[in-house]
Chain A
């Protein structure tokens, strides 16, 4: 089981190992594979229970994808998601970067405790907050507006990203900030002109995370938005392509795959940092 690099493994173990890995891969990836297959099938092919669903019984077609882009507001939802995502990323950077730096460098022991508290706010789930927030949103006059999402989403992107950035800033040697101060910058100047350029990787991670967290969000969008033209992808597809009795399965599968695959691949590059943030958050 815990066969390690270099140790000799028996062929039996190898078969078990291969079998286990294959089963897990199948379990994890099959729904996505299924989306792709279904997206290119003709409706008649999909809607015949006697057909072997794994093969194209009728020739593949682009009709479903076309219909998704031309017959629904899918492109609008993609655009909405991107728009909210970009604004939230900007707000997150503006708030989380100074917070992360303050926690890492400017607040000593208090900062450590404060950092943990801020990380914990990330764990307060939308399910507890969406009801009071819906009132706050209506009080602000933002009901059924994408701005409501722009305002609310940083409440979960900022704590997490500040936590991640704190980790990044902590590992930058303080020496180079001090050198910069001696070389003629103020404390703040050293942060802007030396620390930020050195933390490009951390900033990039923050950007990717805020953006993907936005694309994943569901509850707030479902609560605050009611008109179909203002949905984000993650809510628009399940609500507006399912509602009623007519299911446009082909188009829906295309919609899911097109929106999720690029995000998944992008996220994948940074997921280790995300996990590190999690476990550090818990273990440190």
Chain B
């Protein structure tokens, strides 16, 4: 075990997969000579060369489509969107091609492409650069969407993403790049589509993922000091969504809070709450609470931005309303 950052975990996963499999290559803006906008691919250009670490023009539509085409024809591209805010320009490729070609052509075509995209808010980047639009991408059957909350999961999930025969959107949280965690030496994978209990407790279930997981764990710590034991379930994958551990926990705690960094409307909380009432109605002792971003474009000014975002106190308050 080593204590490494999430950035390092992602870098290690990429490097190990590229060494393992010649068909894996990286493409995106500033991934090569620059070393990656978030320094995830630093040193790759020197190790793997221009053929496998491909700097692209600023052409998100082409990055999306070319990655899909290359994957259809046998390669394993890892395409990087500089941030998820720019992936909107490639939404059509993700939705209409990556998510569709296998089904629409009766199983003839596979698309084993990975799209990496840093997302998240809270860095005073203003309204255009601060989205957490994960649910938009998770809406489409055919695409897999994962977003890790720990370095361990980041490395294992990225390896799974690269190895699966299906297209995967891998959402990295900018604020988590510096977070450290235990990661074993050597090869391992974390399966896509498996939620994971990150903290055990009997009083309330907190469902979260990515940055929300860190917020939920902080809140759980404070609640514990006040005698409330929260169970924290990390979704890790948004599609396929694994409700198993969430329901197991809910059948024990009878109450749940869902934490997400994106907006509340039509969000993860909406989905999880709906599933809980469909599949766990008999265990429901209180309304399912949602802690999410307030419904406004994010402002630049620091205090104002923070006022719109999720934090530990809001999660604690939501828990106390139902416990």
Note whether A and B form a binding pair: no
Residues of chain B having any CB pair with chain A under 8 Å: none
Question: A-side interface residues toward B, CB under 8 Å?
Answer: none
